[in-house]
Amino acid sequence: MNTENHSQTAAFLWSIADLLRGDFKQSQYGRIILPFTLLRRMECVLEPTKEAVVRESYAQEGRPDHVREMLLLRAAGQPFFNASKLTLDTLSDKQTVDDLLSYVQSFSKDAREIFEHFHFEDFVQQLASANLLYQVTQRFAAADLSPERISNFGMGIIFEELIRKFAESSNETAGEHFTPRDIVHLTTSLVITDQDHKLAPNNIVTIYDPTAGTGGFLSEGDEYIQSISEKVSVSLHGQELNPESYAICKADMLIKGQKVENIKLGNTLSNDQLAGPEHHFDFMLSNPPFGVEWKKVQKQITDEHSHKGFDGRFGPGLPRVSDGSLLFLLHLVSKMRDPRQDGKSKGGSRIGIILNGSPLFTGGAGSGESEIRRYLLQNDLVEAIVALPTDMFYNTGIATYVWVLSNHKASVRQGKVQLIDGSQHFAKMRKSLGSKRQYITEEQIDELVRLYGRFEETAQSKIFPVEAFGYRRITVERPLRLNFQTSAERIEKVLAEKAIEKMEAPTRQRLIEALQAMDASVLHRNREQFSKLLKKTLSAHDVSPSTPELKAILSALSERDPEADICMVKGQPEADTGLRDNENVPLGESVYDYFQREVIPHVPDAWIDESKTDAQDGEVGIVGFEIPFNRHFYVFQPPRPLVEIDCDLKACTDRIKQMIEGLSA
């Protein structure tokens, strides 16, 4: 079935919402249309075996529930059944509420739960109160959603179209629920390409999405593998936070014949419901929400990081609380299969995750983000990063990137990272969908996958050793140089110091007299000599300041002066915090060689603060990692010649003159 038909079906289902105007808020339309669409789809899927199931249901009355359920599932030939003789078409206009609820209750347990997540019963009662229930059910009964006409994959697209429309009409963000199919297709193709060893006949391949939404990535992964290897069994796993998206995903899995107990509801970061060594996966695909804070689950995540360390998911570090994207990435890495084990685990895992720009570079050396990048890169897990065009998502136009990770890299890729610039691979959409104004065509997807597969240096594909993204941040200190003077202005500053304000009045008066007794015209350029002179004068005026008071006096009487002598403390130069600077030294280069070459020629009196060492390797300078993606693809455009600019300016001023003349004529 083509996309045009998907759109027509979605438009027909959407049009049923016209019945709800006035009786329901726009934000409620989706809560009614989506579960009814699911109900009708499930009814169409079960239609061929419906009579057999009803007969079996009568025959098995009185048998234990689990036995009856097993026999009815067998009769249905599906992983779910409905034992009622009713359909949407046969519901009477007199008894619609009772019949409809009884019909839904006749589904098998997993299917029944789907409608609970939509609070279906509440909305059915509201429709009945508005005298709309019978009309709505009749409209849905007329929709042909049979598998012969619409594939499971097509049905997924229809659900996404409906969610997007409802989200737009009620000003919600549809992008939180699903990823555009072109992006899903590209990411899946990148992750599953060249994985023939995984797709050998009779293998069971597992796919996981920790932010499953309505199941788009899982469906596409399944579809992709089935299209290239018919004899492989695909097992789909996922977790989703939004109850309605979860209900659609679960229904999709039921209809596909997948085990629905592998689809979980809840917050993946704080409550991983697919934990444990048995839940490691071959392929993982995810589009976590961009730039979403994790404050609500901060305690659970911080506890896991501090108590479990590398035995938990977040050992390498935690990003800032305003953006949880990298937490999802660490979560996925924790689910990778061990590539060294034989048997089922052979071949490790591959990950495709869509992130915005901040995980590439946010956070300096020693920050949580930098430490996470360091862990991923030094463990050689990052295989490629592909820059996508802007305006690709329904709810944001920002720049985004597909990260491809693997713990079983081909030998030619080991120790290297490939950056691919796909930002110009797009076509304009005829009609914008929210913020989505552009899409990637099938040909462009093939081109990007080929760029990735070839692993060659081109204008759009750059290859770097892992170390190229690392650096050591050294702290460069320069000496403090101060002059001192007892001028009237500086004495005023002394009196404004908090420590001096707290002095008793007679002592303060004696302090003023002492400072005024010193020669205000002399500029002292040696702190040690001035301190001795100051203490002697204060003592002569019966002033014995405490250490904080003396410090305050010296500070107020001083000014920075590059001509002054260096201020010393215990025989060592004192650092001037105002001149403190950092230098990023490329990883692998001696910090001292770099310092001699890049710093000393400009500031000969500088030194490296050797107390600032890296927590992991103990060497001077704190290690940081960042991936300055755009810098590697920047092409310098020389400015136009001045003569050309002058000509343009002259033409412009001539036009303005003519316009003015025309007005005054």
| Low-confidence winner among 68-72, 170-174, 603-607 (lowest mean pLDDT) | 170-174
Nearest-CA neighbor of 100 among 110, 90, 109? 90
Q: Which tokens is 374 given?
A: 């360091």
Asked if the model's pLDDT at residue 455 lies above 60, the reply is yes
| Residue 101 · residue 121 · CB < 8 Å | yes
Give Cα separations from 212 to 240, 242, 254, 270, 655 (angstroms).
5, 10, 15, 16, 60
Q: For 384-397, b where at least 16 C-beta lie within 10 A, e where not — what string?
A: bbbbbbbbbbbbbe
Distance CA 445, CA 632 (A): 22
614 domain residue, yes or no: no
Nearest-CA neighbor of 352 among 372, 368, 336, 371? 336
> In this structure, which long-range contacts are made by residues 575-581, counting pairs with CB atoms below 8 Å and at least 24 apart in sequence?
575/477, 575/478, 575/479, 575/480, 575/609, 576/477, 576/478, 576/479, 576/480, 576/481, 579/477, 579/478, 580/475, 580/476, 580/477, 580/478, 581/475, 581/476, 581/478
652 domain residue, yes or no: no
| Residue 342 · residue 602 · CB < 8 Å | no
Looking at residue 4, its pLDDT comes to 56
Distance CA 626, CA 176 (A): 27
Contacts of 303 (CB under 8 A, 6+ apart): none
664 domain residue, yes or no: no
377 and 511: one domain?
no
First and final C-alpha spacing in the chain: 68
For residue 297, the SS3 value is: helix
Asked if the model's pLDDT at residue 345 lies above 50, the reply is no
26 and 155: one domain?
yes
429 and 525: one domain?
no
Residue 511's pLDDT band, with cuts at 50, 70 and 90, is very high
Question: How far, rounded to the nearest angstrom, does the alpha carbon of residue 640 sit from its chain's CA centroid?
Answer: 40
602 domain residue, yes or no: no
Give Cα separations from 218 to 43, 405, 426, 620 (angstroms).
23, 18, 24, 47
pLDDT average, residue stretch 461-476: 96
Looking at residue 1, its pLDDT comes to 42
Residue by residue, what is the 3-state secondary structure of 42-57? HHHHHHHHHHHHHHHH
Percent of the chain at pLDDT exceeding 90: 66
What is the tens place of the pLDDT at every residue in 27-62? Answer: 888 889 999 999 999 999 999 999 999 999 888 888
Distance CA 254, CA 258 (A): 6
242 and 341: one domain?
yes
Show the domain range for 558: 482-573
Looking at residue 307, its pLDDT comes to 95
123 and 40: one domain?
yes
Q: Which tokens is 346 given?
A: 């052979």
Describe the chain by its helix, strand, coil percentages, rounded to 5.
50, 15, 35
Give Cα separations from 154 to 145, 288, 431, 434, 442 (angstroms).
10, 23, 21, 21, 17
Nearest-CA neighbor of 440 among 429, 431, 432, 450? 429
Distance CA 208, CA 238 (A): 5
463 and 498: one domain?
no
pLDDT average, residue stretch 324-342: 89
26 and 131: one domain?
yes
Backbone region of residue 588 per phi and psi (left: phi > 0; alpha: psi in -120 to 50; beta: other values): left
Asked if the model's pLDDT at residue 452 lies above 90, the reply is yes
Strands (E), 470-604: 470-477, 482-484, 558-560, 568-569, 572-573, 581-586
| Last residue within a domain, chosen from 436, 469, 502 | 469
What is the tens place of the pLDDT at every residue in 374-400? Answer: 999 999 999 999 999 988 877 777 889
200 and 86: one domain?
no
Looking at residue 227, its pLDDT comes to 87
Residue 366's pLDDT band, with cuts at 50, 70 and 90, is very high
Give burial (CB, 10 Å; 0-12/13-18/19+) of 226. Answer: middle
Phi/psi of residue 524, nearest 5 degrees: -90, 130
293 and 424: one domain?
yes
Q: Would you tell me how many other CB atoms lie within 10 Å of the CB of residue 166?
A: 24
Count of helices and strands (H, E) across the chain: 25, 19
Distance CA 89, CA 69 (A): 25
| Last residue within a domain, chosen from 103, 136, 170 | 170
What is the tens place of the pLDDT at every residue in 141-157? Answer: 999 999 998 888 888 88
Looking at residue 171, its pLDDT comes to 55
Please name the residue that has the structure tokens 């060893």.
Answer: 197
pLDDT average, residue stretch 646-652: 91
Residue 363 DSSP class? S
343 and 491: one domain?
no
Pairing mode, strands 204-209 and 233-240: parallel
What is the tens place of the pLDDT at every residue in 244-277? Answer: 889 988 988 888 888 888 999 999 999 999 998 8
Q: Which tokens is 193 given?
A: 């390409």
449 and 489: one domain?
no
What is the tens place of the pLDDT at every residue in 164-194? Answer: 777 766 655 544 556 888 999 999 999 999 8
Asked if the model's pLDDT at residue 197 lies above 90, the reply is no
434 vs 177, residue with greater confidence:
434
Looking at residue 174, its pLDDT comes to 45
Residue 107 DSSP class? B
What is the tens place of the pLDDT at every residue in 612-638? Answer: 999 999 999 999 999 999 888 877 778
580 domain residue, yes or no: no
Percent of the chain at pLDDT exceeding 70: 97
Residue 65: its H or E element:
helix 65-76
Amino acid identity for residue 472 in this structure = R
pLDDT average, residue stretch 91-108: 87
For residue 433, the SS3 value is: strand
| Last residue within a domain, chosen from 113, 145, 170 | 170
155 and 181: one domain?
no
Pairing mode, strands 233-240 and 263-265: parallel
Q: What is the CATH number of the domain that holds 309?
A: 3.40.50.150
Amino acid identity for residue 166 in this structure = F
Asked if the model's pLDDT at residue 445 lies above 90, the reply is yes
657 domain residue, yes or no: no
Q: Quote the number of domains for the chain.
A: 3
What is the tens place of the pLDDT at every residue in 419-432? Answer: 999 988 888 888 87
184 domain residue, yes or no: yes
Looking at residue 314, its pLDDT comes to 96
pLDDT average, residue stretch 189-207: 89
47 domain residue, yes or no: yes
Residue 438's pLDDT band, with cuts at 50, 70 and 90, is confident
Asked if the model's pLDDT at residue 566 lies above 80, the reply is yes
